[in-house]
Structure 1
Amino acid sequence: MSESQSVAESPTVARELTAFQHNILMILADEARYGLAIKRELEDYYESEVNHGRLYPNLDDLVEMDLVEKSELDKRTNQYALTEAGYDAILEQLSWEFSRLLSEDGRRGDIEALLEAAN
């Protein structure tokens, strides 16, 4: 059996996420937020409007996948927080990305510089 067949037979949740959903998880990695705060951060990133019809169904999907926890802040506002499974999905995606980026020795310094700048 080839590697691609074994991967296809056992996909993890992280592999099924859209880039938009992954970006939501990354936003929540810092701290829990309410929906409109997530929307603003996504709009800053995409430099365009993110409509409610795109954001909230994706948040609901992430909650259903147990990657995000939804709680009530008040009668009108929900708060969203990253779960352990959501954190694991982020790490899995980053691990896959880094394994591709670090295939050449010269790129390791670029990644280390990014990590240093983030601190």
Structure 2
Amino acid sequence: MSLFELTAFQRDLLFIIAMVDEPSGQELKDQFEEETTATVNRGNIYPNLNTLTERGFINKESRDCRTNCYSLTQQGRSCLHQRHKWEQEHLAGAQQTV
């Protein structure tokens, strides 16, 4: 599974999970809204987290009886690194034309 097959929202969630230590869904929602100033519907975040879990990008573990926390898998970390490399290559080309 490639990072390019995910939605922009799902990719952004991966980046936020990478920068926060085992965040809950609510913590991810809050961080996403703080970073982007966009409002995230709670009904949107959990299905996307489930998709990322099912596709092997993140792990979901129970923090307590009511709260799950999320962390990147090796596949998730690898895909973020690939995306970063891809962006750097494209940005380098863009800087040469400016």
CA distance in 2, matches of 1:87, 1:18: 17
CA distance in 2, matches of 1:83, 1:106: 37
CA distance in 1, matches of 2:85, 2:47: 27
User: Which stretches in structure 1 are left out of the alignment for 5+ residues?
Assistant: 1-11, 108-119
Paired position in structure 1 for 2:56:
66
Paired position in structure 2 for 1:21:
10
CA distance in 2, matches of 1:29, 1:65: 17
Q: Secondary structure at the match of 2:39?
A: coil
- Structure 1 residue 48 displacement after superposition: 2.8
CA-based RMSD of the aligned residues comes to 1.6
- Structure 1 residue 37 displacement after superposition: 0.4
User: Which stretches in structure 2 are left out of the alignment for 5+ residues?
Assistant: none
Q: Secondary structure at the match of 2:56?
A: coil
Paired position in structure 1 for 2:79:
89
Paired position in structure 1 for 2:88:
98
In the alignment of these two chains, the number of paired residues is 96
Greater than 4 Å deviation, 4+ residue runs: none
1:37-96 CA-partner distances (Å, limit 9, x unpaired): 000011112313211111001000000011000000111000111111000111111111
| Amino acid paired to 1:15 | F
Instruction: Give me the identity figure in percent.
Output: 34
Please identify the structure whose Cα radius of gyration is greater: 1
Normalised by the size of structure 1, how large is the TM-score? 0.74
Identify which of structures 1 and 2 has the higher relative contact order when contacts are C-alpha pairs closer than 8 Å and 6+ apart.
2
Normalised by the size of structure 2, how large is the TM-score? 0.89
